[in-house]
Amino acid sequence: MTCEEYRPLNSQHHQDTQLFVSLFKEFNARYDKLNEKLNAIVRSESEFLTEQDQQVLFDYFNLCAEHYLFYKAGYIDEEVWQSWLAGMKYFARKEAVRSFWEADLKFNSYYSFTLELFEPTSAAWKICD
């Protein structure tokens, strides 16, 4: 391969890497703002979600759907996706969260994100559980 043939490939790799880093930083910053509240919801002994809990969960569901959209498009590394998917599954283990998520998915579009992704038979669930 000549230098002229290599430059476009190297440039494309560099652009893809920059996009990944940008997405990764943005997604993690958004998650960091939700993390404490999400953990409080999961730790709560209440079976009911407050309006504030629901708003936090809506924000989280949107973030998860965006994770999935960019993963499907090939911009999110497999190892990163598996880590994020494990986190989603962790929060969905609380019945109130899972039920709320399932209900919301019936009425809102989340880029074809579905809770079936949490099933071990899903192609999106390769190394976690």
For the chain, the domain total comes to 1
- Let me know if residue 127 belongs to a domain: no
pLDDT per position in the chain (129 positions), as tens? Answer: 665 665 665 666 668 788 888 998 999 999 999 999 999 999 999 999 999 999 999 999 999 999 999 999 999 999 999 999 999 999 999 999 999 999 999 987 788 899 998 887 666 655 444
| Residues 6+ away with beta carbon under 8 Å from 75 | 16, 19, 20, 23
Residue 111 region, left (φ>0) first, then alpha (ψ -120 to 50), else beta? left
pTM for this predicted structure: 0.81
In this structure, is residue 5 part of a structural domain? Answer: no
Q: Is residue 15 part of a domain?
A: no
Assigned domain for 47 exists:
yes
Is residue 67 in a domain?
Answer: yes
Token pair, residue 129, equals: 């559980």
Domain span including residue 56: 23-118
Please give the structure tokens belonging to residue 119.
Answer: 């099933």
Domain assignment present for residue 4? The answer is no
Cα–Cα distance for residue pair 101/88, rounded to 1 Å: 11
Decide if 43 is inside a domain.
Answer: yes
Count other Cβ atoms within 10 Å, centred on residue 37. 16
